[in-house]
Structure 1
Amino acid sequence: MSMPFIKRFVAQETARRRELILAGAHGLVGAAAGTGLVSAFARSEPTLAWSYRDRSNPYWHAVVSGAESFLEDNGHKKSALLHLLNNGSSEKSLADIKALLSKTGGKVAIACDANDAPNCRPVVEAVQRAGGHVATVWNKPDDLHPWDFGDNWVSHMTWSDEGPAEQTARILFQAMGGKGAIVGVGGIAANNPAIERHRGVMRALQDFPGIRLLDYQPADWATQKAHQVMQGFFTRFGSKITGVFCANDSMAYGVLEALRAEGRKLPVVAYDGTPEATELVLRGELLATCFTNPHWGGGITAALAYHAAIGSFKPSAEPRAHREFYGPTILVTQRDAAGFKKKYISGTPKYDWKDFWAPGRGQIMYAAKP
């Protein structure tokens, strides 16, 4: 992989996002999509949907590919999956889900990232009122729990991002020799993973007094916006910048393109473990990334919602560790990137989609409030 890849990726992301926006304007995506998608299952089956940001992002592409694998392994065509694309809008996320609930009479199994934590409550409340089933990932308030919604809110999975983000930050600081100044490029401010990954950086900084944080700005998980944020950092700080922390891989691509344009090579770390980022780690253009196994996460979230909806198991009969749990994380550095690529990228592992909690890392734990 070479740096021109990054430029192509920025252009492709922009084009795909434009296509999705145009499609949405013409009613071609989201809950208002053609009736064929909603009726893709047999009449006795619930409609299976994934509500997420957009498929132009490699992470979300892997998520919904996992859901499609679950469908195929379960004897359905992958085209049976209804894609509710919110393009980063919490309002659209909720509106699409409400429209789908109305269209199906609540006979749905929804896998969902609510886009930000506050949006989770109205989403699960709408699903409960309609008698549907939803399994969520990533974003929810700490005081909102699936067991307070009976069987309708099946489960919530997140990833313990603070610790892995601290690890990647430490790798960055060590590569800088424990001195210098960094900038940080973060996700959507109200996103739980964005908050936790920022905390991880700040925690690592406590042990590196020789490193200064110049600024940390959100780029909303997007390549193009990260490119603009990094250009702004160069305008403000110039040669003072000696390292970059990126809260996901897609934003790292924009940062690397900005570095190329400036003719600079700086140590950069990222997060998500996408195939493209893994190649960049192998080539030494990224120091590290962190894999959250989005293929398994997307498939198992869809599987949980689907099996709860058809009555294969009763969520309210499960222990709390099965209602809220952490997904797996794997740190990827140049030392182990080749082995990681062989196992998770060159060949996708096969999963038992009824073994819901096997790769999980236990019940979600919340920080004590002061």
Structure 2
Amino acid sequence: MSFIKDYIARETLNRRNFLFASAAGLGGVAAGGLFGPGMARAALTDPTIAWGYRNRTNPYWNEIVSGGESFVQSLGLPRDALTHLINEGSSEKSLSDVKALLAKTGGNLALAIDANDAPNCRPVVEAVAEAGAYVATIWNKTDDLHPWDFGDNYVSHMSWSDVKPAEDTARILLDAMGGKGGVVHLGGIASNSPAIQRRQGLENALKDYPDVELLAAEPADWDTQKANQVMSAFLTRFGDEITGVHCANDTIAYGVLEALRAEGIEDMPIVSYDGNPQAVQLVAEKKILATVFTNPYWGGGISAALAYYAATGAFKPSEEPNEHREFYGPTILVTPEDALEFKATYLDSAPDYDWTDYWGPSNGPIRY
């Protein structure tokens, strides 16, 4: 598991900042600011295409951005034509970077973004709509925020229905524990929608396992190094009472595995989420019992495609049904029995997607 150590080491280094938008633009006023929400201007010409996300050192976000790069290449553009807005987990930076890029481009922008947490999505969308630009969001938004309330400018929102898949992995974990003992949960950023849903999945499963105690649940902020610290503290606090670990994503699981290894523990039942290549290999080796693949490569590419094709007038979002404005992305449960087949199909080489098939692999409308 040397790659886990390498991963932790890399996360302690200063991360590269791929932000191409100039902060000097913050003081300017976007030319598109004359257009209010719901008042989209004529189709844009050669809009800047951007992706806003946490950071690329995380394998999940690397896959998201790789999908975005594949989309821009499908337009005959080089990979570096995609502008990167890296927020490093800061909602304030996410919003300020979007505003800076809107000012720099005069609103001639097609943006795909995870706004970092649910409350931050509204001000991001409002800024984009006011500038006459176009945005497709993923993962985090509040339940009262809807694309159809912003005409064409807020193109779409994609999330994943995480409660049931997280419950499925939890049941695999609890069965491996023999239906008894103590489990700990390491979550994502507390205000993130997927973090909330994945913990809910565990709690749903626990209702059917009265002899399993949830010893503790703490956020690890989707971060390997923090997960390592949280798990080390759990081991100090609970010791042998811990007989299973429920991780909110794969990068958290890497930190957990390293903390366990430091204590000489090699056979602790663990489950995770995201289906990153390293995690799938660990599932094949039965060092992780299960993970859930959300096809981030497709999610990253199709979100950029939706924003771009709406911006350039290839389709009109306001003429689409609501299930095309808010929809679930696909999920696949990966277990040791099918991990190698899954890896060969989805990870060893990226599938060749048609980026104009906007809703092909999607999984139905978002339900509240």
Q: Could you tell me the TM-score, scaled by structure 2's length?
A: 0.93
2:56 paired residue number: 55
2:292 paired residue number: 290
2:327 paired residue number: 325
Cα drift, residue 5 of structure 1: 1.9
Distance 2:128 2:185 in 1: 37
1:250 paired residue number: 251
The alignment's C-alpha RMSD in Å is 1.3
Give the ranges of 4+ consecutive aligned residues of structure 1 lying more than 3 Å apart after TM superposition.
none
1:82-161 counterparts in 2 under 5 A?
A: 82-161=83-162
Give the counterpart letter for 1:355 in structure 2: D
1:247-286 counterparts in 2 under 5 A?
A: 247-265=248-266, 266-286=268-288
Give the counterpart letter for 1:29 in structure 2: L
Q: Give the secondary structure class of the aligned counterpart of 1:242.
A: strand
Distance 1:30 1:57 in 2: 20
Distance 2:177 2:237 in 1: 21
2:29 paired residue number: none
Q: Give the secondary structure class of the aligned counterpart of 2:135.
A: strand
2:28 paired residue number: none
- Assess if the C-alpha contact under 8 Å between 1:13 and 1:56 holds in 2: yes
2:305 paired residue number: 303
- Assess if the C-alpha contact under 8 Å between 2:107 and 2:131 holds in 1: yes
2:12 paired residue number: 14
Structure 2: where are the runs of 5+ without partners?
Answer: 26-43
Distance 1:75 1:87 in 2: 30
Distance 1:129 1:30 in 2: 22
Q: Percent identity?
A: 63
C-alpha distance 197-137 of structure 1, shift in aligned 2 (>3 A):
same
Cα drift, residue 31 of structure 1: 2.7
- Assess if the C-alpha contact under 8 Å between 2:50 and 2:110 holds in 1: yes
Distance 2:315 2:98 in 1: 23
Distance 2:67 2:214 in 1: 37
Q: Could you tell me the TM-score, scaled by structure 1's length?
A: 0.93
Partner residue of 1:32 out of 22, 34, 39: 22
Give the counterpart letter for 1:283 in structure 2: E
C-alpha distance after superposition, 1:292-351 (max 9, x if no partner):
000000000000000001010000000000000000000000011011001001121111
- Assess if the C-alpha contact under 8 Å between 1:30 and 1:85 holds in 2: no
Distance 1:5 1:145 in 2: 41
- Assess if the C-alpha contact under 8 Å between 2:15 and 2:57 holds in 1: no
Confirm or deny that 1:337 pairs with 2:339.
yes
Distance 1:146 1:183 in 2: 37
Q: Give the secondary structure class of the aligned counterpart of 2:12.
A: helix
Give the counterpart letter for 2:337 in structure 1: R
Distance 2:134 2:168 in 1: 36
- Assess if the C-alpha contact under 8 Å between 2:23 and 2:97 holds in 1: no
C-alpha distance after superposition, 1:251-307 (max 9, x if no partner):
100000000001113000000000000010011110000000000000000000000
Structure 1: where are the runs of 5+ without partners?
Answer: 36-42
1:39 paired residue number: none
1:40 paired residue number: none
- Assess if the C-alpha contact under 8 Å between 2:19 and 2:83 holds in 1: no
2:164 paired residue number: 163
1:221 paired residue number: 222
Give the counterpart letter for 2:274 in structure 1: D
Q: Give the secondary structure class of the aligned counterpart of 2:305.
A: helix
Distance 2:82 2:349 in 1: 23
How many residues matched? 349
- Assess if the C-alpha contact under 8 Å between 1:139 and 1:192 holds in 2: yes
Confirm or deny that 1:200 pairs with 2:196.
no
- Assess if the C-alpha contact under 8 Å between 2:24 and 2:100 holds in 1: no
2:41 paired residue number: none
- Assess if the C-alpha contact under 8 Å between 2:290 and 2:333 holds in 1: yes
Distance 1:48 1:227 in 2: 36
Distance 2:97 2:104 in 1: 10
Distance 2:319 2:360 in 1: 18
C-alpha distance 197-359 of structure 1, shift in aligned 2 (>3 A):
same
C-alpha distance after superposition, 1:115-171 (max 9, x if no partner):
000000000000010000000000000111000000000000000000000000000
Distance 1:68 1:30 in 2: 15
Cα drift, residue 34 of structure 1: 10
- Assess if the C-alpha contact under 8 Å between 1:187 and 1:248 holds in 2: yes
Cα drift, residue 19 of structure 1: 3.1
Give the counterpart letter for 2:338 in structure 1: D
Distance 1:214 1:322 in 2: 41
Q: Give the secondary structure class of the aligned counterpart of 1:19.
A: coil
2:314 paired residue number: 312
1:38 paired residue number: none
